[in-house]
Amino acid sequence: MNVSSSPHHTGADAPQTEPEIHRLFHQLNNQLCIVLAHAELLEAKAQDSTNRARAAQVVKSVLDAMGTAKDMRRRSEPPAAR
């Protein structure tokens, strides 16, 4: 797949507008929510403590990633919007 033809690629020299950044953060959060839901299902249905612990670690990591994305979004906002 050609990266430049991907709908998510805007090119290195393309300026990112605030609405575009907001859309990308929203899309990232939606994707992380899907991963979180799957990890929670795996954790709930795990038949042994080893697999439950692995799924719990994925849940924790996704929650950490969601927090990082939220922090990045907040820091990318102009000072007047904070």
Q: Are 36 and 66 in contact (CB under 8 A)?
A: yes
**5 band by pLDDT with thresholds 50, 70 and 90:** very low
Q: Let me know if residue 50 belongs to a domain.
A: yes
Number of domains in the chain: 1
pTM of the predicted protein model? 0.72
Q: Let me know if residue 27 belongs to a domain.
A: yes
Q: Let me know if residue 28 belongs to a domain.
A: yes
- What's the pLDDT score for residue 69? 95
Which structural domain, as residue segments, surrounds residue 48?
Answer: 16-77
- What's the pLDDT score for residue 1? 39
Q: Let me know if residue 3 belongs to a domain.
A: no
Tell me the C-alpha to C-alpha distance, in Å, between residue 77 and each of 14, 45, 52, 67, 81. Answer: 18, 40, 38, 16, 6
Q: Are 78 and 18 in contact (CB under 8 A)?
A: yes
Please identify which residue in the block is written with the tokens 């994305």: 69
Q: Let me know if residue 56 belongs to a domain.
A: yes
Give the tens place of pLDDT for each residue, 7-48: 554 455 455 677 899 999 999 999 999 999 999 999 999 999
Q: Let me know if residue 7 belongs to a domain.
A: no
What are the residue ranges of helices labelled H in 1-82? Answer: 18-45, 49-76
